[in-house]
A and B are shown apart, each in its own frame.
Chain A
Amino acid sequence: KNEVEQSPQNLTAQEGEFITINCSYSVGISALHWLQQHPGGGIVSLFMLSSGKKKHGRLIATINIQEKHSSLHITASHPRDSAVYICAVRSLSSGSARQLTFGSGTQLTVLP
């Protein structure tokens, strides 16, 4: 079992829909990152969370440390939101000098 599981793997939505992407992890963490990878390949950091909730524009990220679960929400989705969304956790274990463990990503396609 992977340490970081994302669901769904693929998601197609109509423009304007509310979107939720989920991330579950099995290790103790000190931080969780949501990343966005556009079709051109570049990766952009959306959020870094250690507790609670963060909002930036139409994007909202929440984390529940006790349940080891995070969600990324997109309100009023738009075709330009089409990208791969990656969850990554900063593990507490094994010295963690290098530990970002990545989920496999969620491919989001928003249709006009």
Chain B
Amino acid sequence: EAQVTQNPRYLITVTGKKLTVTCSQNMNHEYMSWYRQDPGLGLRQIYYSMNVEVTDKGDVPEGYKVSRKEKRNFPLILESPSPNQTSLYFCASSRSGQGAFNTEAFFGQGTRLTVV
């Protein structure tokens, strides 16, 4: 089954404690992206990756890091989480042969992060 898998689904952590949210896709997609969703602000892009070892900032990259060492995995790293990073996070992937998201988009189940 084609899917994007995020882990964990729920996470409560304390300010400053480094954490990683994993994202893995089994469709051999080149393009992967991270979004955060906040009430009243909708979905905003954090980082994206066009392919292995190719990453770039989205609209709200501050406080986040990513890596793309393998095609299937695109982890989101919060080196020193702060309460303003409390949010619902989504990973997404698509083929990019004709440009990302010109074909079907696949989203993970979401990770609800609370930073206290």
Smallest Cβ-Cβ distance to B58: which chain A residue: A98
Q: Would you call B104 an interface residue if the criterion is a C-beta within 8 Å of the partner chain's C-beta atoms? A: yes
- Is A48 touching B45 in the complex (CB atoms < 8 A)? no
A19 to B13, CA, bound (A): 41
Cβ contact of B48, chosen from A31, A40, A98, A103, cutoff 8 A = A98
For the A-B complex, the count of residue pairs with Cβ-Cβ distances under 8 Å equals: 66
Q: What is the interface of chain B mostly: helix, strand, loop, or mixed?
A: strand
Cβ contact of B42, chosen from A31, A45, A105, cutoff 8 A = A105
A50 to B104, CA, bound (A): 11
Residues from chain A with a CB closer than 8 A to the CB of B45 are 98, 100
Q: Which of A50, A100, A103 has the most CB of B within 10 A?
A: A100
Cβ contact of A35, chosen from B88, B103, B107, cutoff 8 A = B107
Residues from chain B with a CB closer than 8 A to the CB of A43 are 90, 92, 107, 110
Cβ contact of B88, chosen from A33, A41, A104, cutoff 8 A = A41
- Is B42 touching A48 in the complex (CB atoms < 8 A)? no
Smallest Cβ-Cβ distance to B33: which chain A residue: A98
- Is A98 touching B100 in the complex (CB atoms < 8 A)? yes
Chain B: interface size category: 20 to 34
Least distance between B36 CB and chain A CB atoms (Å): 12
Least distance between A95 CB and chain B CB atoms (Å): 10
Residues from chain B with a CB closer than 8 A to the CB of A31 are 101-103
Give chain B's interface residues, CB within 8 Å of chain A.
33, 42-43, 45, 48, 50, 56, 58, 88, 90, 92, 99-110, 112
Give chain A's interface residues, CB within 8 Å of chain B.
30-31, 33, 35, 40-45, 48, 50, 86, 88, 90, 96-100, 102-105
Give the 9 A-B residue pairs with the shortest CB-CB distance, closest first: A43-B107, A41-B110, A90-B101, A42-B109, A102-B43, A98-B48, A31-B102, A104-B42, A48-B104
